Amino acid sequence: MTSAIALSSISKTFAADAVPALNGVNLDVLPGTCTAILGPSGSGKSTILRIIAGLEDPSGGGVFVNGVDMTSVLPENRRIGMVFQRPLLFPHLSVIDNVAFADRAAGLSKAEARRNALRFLDMVQLEEFASRPIRSLSGGQEQRVAVARVLAARPAILLLDEPFSALDAALRDDMHQLLADIRASLSPTVLLVTHDRDEAAAVADRIAVVEGGQLLQHDTVDRIYHRPSCRAVARLMGGRNFVDGVAHDGAHHSAVGRVTVDENIPEGPGALVVRQEAIAVATASPSRSLAADEFAGVVSAVQRNGARRSIVIGVDEIDIHAELPPGVNLPVGAPVVFTLPRESVSVVAR
C-alpha cells in the first residue's frame, strides 16, 4: 500500500542554528491511520509538520504524499490541513465565514461556501454559533471551529500541532472524542504532534518518537511502550526501570538475576527495560520459595500516584520501580516478591 505520507531523509537546518533541527528523518504513514509524533520541546516534531504542510522548506530530503513528490509544491496546493496549538480563527470574520474560508479561497460564492460551512459546523456541534463573532467563543469552542474550518478544506491529510494542549482535561477528552468521530466518518490520515504520551496513546494507532531532530522509533502504541528501541524512547514514554547487565542466551543477566526475554536480543552489554505498571508485586512469605520468574526485594520508598501507589523495590543496590493495584499499600521495609512479565521486558543498548 502506498504511504499517505512518506518522508525521505528529511533534514532541516535553520540559518540561526548550528545544530540541525531535523537530521535524516524517514517516516511512512499509512492512509487513514493516526500517527502521533511525540517528543520533548525543541525536538523538531513541529518542524516535521511544517515541512509536510509546506510552511518550511527542508534542507534535504523529500516529502511524498500518496506517492507524489510534494517537496516543492506550495502549501495552498498540497491539500494538507493544519490545526495549530492556538485556534488562529480570523478575528475579522464570523464563525461561519471562518469555516467558509477555504471554499471562498477556492472561488465558491459566499452563499455556497456558507451552505457547505454549516455542514462542517454541524459536525463539531456548533451549528447554532454560525453567525456569532469569534470573540463570543470559549477556548474549546474556538478549537472546534478551527477543526471545522480545516475539515471544510477537504484535506487528504490532517496535521494537528498540539491542538489540545491549551485545553483543560475535560475539554481535551471532548476533543479526543471529536477526533475519533472525524476519523470514523471521514477517514483522513492524521498526524498529531504532542508532548503528552497519554494523549498520543489515547488517540493514535502508532507513535513516532522524536528527540534531537532524529526519529528514534516509529511503531504501534503497545510496542513503543513495551519494546522501546533505545533508552531515550523508554524514558520519553515514562519508563523508569533501566537495569544494566549482559544479554546472552535469550536472557538478561544482572544483579536482579536471570530474566528471560521474549524477543531476539543482541548479545552483549545492555539495559533491561520493563514498564513499572507491568511488574506484578506480592508480599513475600517466608514459607514459600521463589518461582523461576520471581525475584525478591524490599520496599525502599512509597509514593502516592493518583489512585495508585508507586513503590521502589531495592534489590542488591538496584532500584526497581513498580506500581501497586488501586487500594493496595505496602510499608517501607516490607519484603516483597515480584515478577517481570516476559511480554513486557526488553533489552536496549547501554
Partner 1 sequence: MSISTRGIVPSPNPPENLRLPGDPGRPLTLSRGVGRTARISGTLIAALWFTVPLLPLAFWSFADRWSFPSPVPTSWGLSGTMSALQQGGLSAFLHSLALGLAVAIIATPLGAVAARALSNGWAPFPRILTALLFAPVVLPPFAAAFGVNVLLLRAYVPPLVGLVLVLVVIAIPYTTFSMRVAYAAHDTRYEEEARTLGASKWQVLWTIQVPLLTPALARSAFLAFLVGWSDYLVTVIVGGGQVITLPLVTASAAAGTGNDAAVAILSLAAIIPPIVLLALLARSGRQHRGDRS
Nearer to partner 1, 166 or 251 (CB): 166
- Site track for partner 1 across 144-163, x = CB under 8 A: -----xx--x----------
Where b means 16+ CB within 10 Å and e means fewer, 111-137 reads eebbebbbebbebbebbebbeeebeeb
CB 236 within 8 A of CB 39: yes
- Asked if residue 76 binds partner 1 (CB under 8 A), the reply is yes
Say which DSSP state 131 is in. Answer: T
Nearer to partner 1, 101 or 338 (CB): 101
Task: State the residue for C-alpha cell 512509597.
Answer: 302
CB 273 within 8 A of CB 348: yes
Nearer to partner 1, 86 or 235 (CB): 86
Closest listed residue to residue 126, CA positions, set 109, 146, 112: 146
- Asked if residue 18 binds partner 1 (CB under 8 A), the reply is no
- Asked if residue 74 binds partner 1 (CB under 8 A), the reply is yes
Which listed residue (5, 34, 65, 82) binds partner 1 by CB under 8 A? Answer: 82
Task: Name every residue whose Cβ is closer than 8 Å to that of residue 327 and which is 6 or more positions away in sequence.
Answer: 307
Which listed residue (21, 25, 80, 259) binds partner 1 by CB under 8 A? Answer: 80
Tell me phi and psi for residue 45, to 5 degrees: -70, -40
Candidate segments 36-44, 50-58, 216-224, 271-279, binder of partner 1 by CB under 8 A: 50-58
Nearer to partner 1, 55 or 296 (CB): 55
Decide: helix, strand or coil at residue 95: helix
Residues that bind partner 1 (CB under 8 A): 53-55, 74-76, 78, 80-82, 84, 86, 88, 90-92, 101-102, 104-106, 133, 135, 138-139, 149-150, 153, 168
